[in-house]
Structure 1
Amino acid sequence: MTRTVVYSTALVALVAATAMTLTSIVSPNWVSYTVPAPSGGTVTDTIGLHRRCTSSTGTCSPFPDEAHCYRSGEGRSFCSMWRTTGFLMNFSTVVEIATIVGFLIIMRGGKVRRQGGWKVLGAMMATAAAAEFIGMTVVAYLFDHDEMFLVPGYRLDSSWYLCATSASVALLSAIGLAISALVLPPEDGYQLLNEPSGV
């Protein structure tokens, strides 16, 4: 039986995971490029799901850019896969927020809702985690195979690792809910009354 304290712990973990997911979407740090500049200092190029920022110009532009996407062959494939990651991350965020609302409803619904609610919440958290794992795998594949990242100096950056951490936290929370429901004894279980003597 899943108890209130277990739900509360899973909810806190999920809120943290959602914050990490949102940060990874907004921050342009999925892949970065850092090299020494000839004049001293460093030149950085950071790429996010939706924009790319360059230190040499001090500006950010939409990413992937249309010129790259309208090329035939690998350009289109790259853009489709990169945008798929963006969609998966946005989908994951929506599922995580919906799960947070579900937590609040189930925790306010009493013991009866808590007894069966873990199945729905666990499935939703597992779905969000799966979407994030797929998205980060796509980016890792592109990082390893696309010619754009073959230049020495590119590396997977903080947003990619935030995504991995967020997905792991959501999945572990789902597993924790399931284990607590199957292992913990019933909450405030009923005790059988002794039969009156002489009956």
Structure 2
Amino acid sequence: MTRRMVYGIGLWVFLAAVALTFTSMALPDWISYTSPVSTSPNPAHPTTPIHVSYGLHRRCSSLTSNCTPFPAPEDCHGEDRYFCSMWRSVGFLMNFSVVLELATLVAFAVVLLGGRGNRDNGWKMCVGLLAVVVSVQVAAMGIVAFLFDHDNRFFVGWKLDRSWILCTVSWIVLLMDVVGITVAAKMLPAEDDYEPIPDRR
């Protein structure tokens, strides 16, 4: 496969997934809790719901109106050590996926700016890197979902929030990119540099 257009479309799809990855990491909303709105006896002073959210590196609370580093050293003692280690693993995996995405961007640039040989065989490198990014993000998403289901700190009212959803959409988009580039490489005819001369006999 030597078609620049396929690589170009694949690159734009990839960049959309990268934007989703960065947004999921920037927002401190992987898991969140919002208390039910209670009826205040004084209608002039309605009760404000409490909101708490966990990001990869921050925990935010409406009670303090700010975000604090998370997990902090005091969060990693006793029974919390397992949760702390797993949560830090999620942060590492997401940061590692960004490094891999930068490597994938370089691979796309090499293939698109290179000659026909690069375009013929470069899809294997691009698809391979994309598949590794998908695997890393699936692992990060899965760890968060596992902690949400099994850790005692998350009870009724907690939910997997925007960052987790964005991460999920990101790896799904990347997976679609992998499938699309692979199918194009296998199914599209080669793009020759010269037009065949018709036989007039």
| TM score, norm. by length of structure 2 | 0.90
**Which amino acid letter does the alignment assign opposite residue 16 of structure 2?**
A
Change (3 A) 1:196 1:176: closer
Match of residue 164 from structure 1: 168
Q: Map Cα deviations across residues 122-152 of structure 1 (whole Å, 9 max, x no partner).
A: 00001001100010000000000000102x2
2:149 paired residue among 144, 150, 155: 144
Q: Map Cα deviations across residues 141-189 of structure 1 (whole Å, 9 max, x no partner).
A: 0000000102x21100000000001111111111111110110000136
Greater Cα offset, 39-48 or 51-60: 39-48
Structure 2 counterparts to residues 37-186 of structure 1, below 5 A: 40-71=47-78, 74-150=79-155, 152-186=156-190
**Which amino acid letter does the alignment assign opposite residue 63 of structure 1?**
F
For 1:163 and 1:81, locate their aligned partners in 2 and report how far apart those are by CA, in whole Å: 17
For 1:110 and 1:45, locate their aligned partners in 2 and report how far apart those are by CA, in whole Å: 53
**Which amino acid letter does the alignment assign opposite residue 66 of structure 1?**
P
Query: How many residues align structurally?
Result: 194
**Which amino acid letter does the alignment assign opposite residue 20 of structure 1?**
L
Match of residue 29 from structure 2: 29
Q: Could you list the runs of 4 or more consecutive aligned residues of structure 1 that deviate by over 6 angstroms after TM superposition?
A: 194-197
Contact 1:2/1:177, CA 8 A, preserved across alignment: no
Percentage identity across paired residues of the two chains: 44
For 2:196 and 2:104, locate their aligned partners in 1 and report how far apart those are by CA, in whole Å: 37
For 1:98 and 1:122, locate their aligned partners in 2 and report how far apart those are by CA, in whole Å: 12
**Which amino acid letter does the alignment assign opposite residue 167 of structure 1?**
W
Unaligned stretches of 5+ residues in structure 2: 39-45
For 1:118 and 1:173, locate their aligned partners in 2 and report how far apart those are by CA, in whole Å: 11
For 2:143 and 2:169, locate their aligned partners in 1 and report how far apart those are by CA, in whole Å: 16
Contact 2:2/2:116, CA 8 A, preserved across alignment: no
1:19 equivalenced with 2:23 (yes/no) = no
For 1:97 and 1:79, locate their aligned partners in 2 and report how far apart those are by CA, in whole Å: 28
Unaligned stretches of 5+ residues in structure 1: none
Deviation at 1:98, TM superposition (A): 1.4
Contact 1:2/1:180, CA 8 A, preserved across alignment: no
Change (3 A) 1:40 1:131: same
Deviation at 1:68, TM superposition (A): 2.0
Change (3 A) 1:107 1:56: same
Change (3 A) 1:196 1:46: closer
**Which amino acid letter does the alignment assign opposite residue 81 of structure 1?**
M
Match of residue 42 from structure 2: none
Greater Cα offset, 82-91 or 186-195: 186-195
Contact 1:6/1:180, CA 8 A, preserved across alignment: yes
RMSD of the TM alignment (CA)?
Answer: 1.9
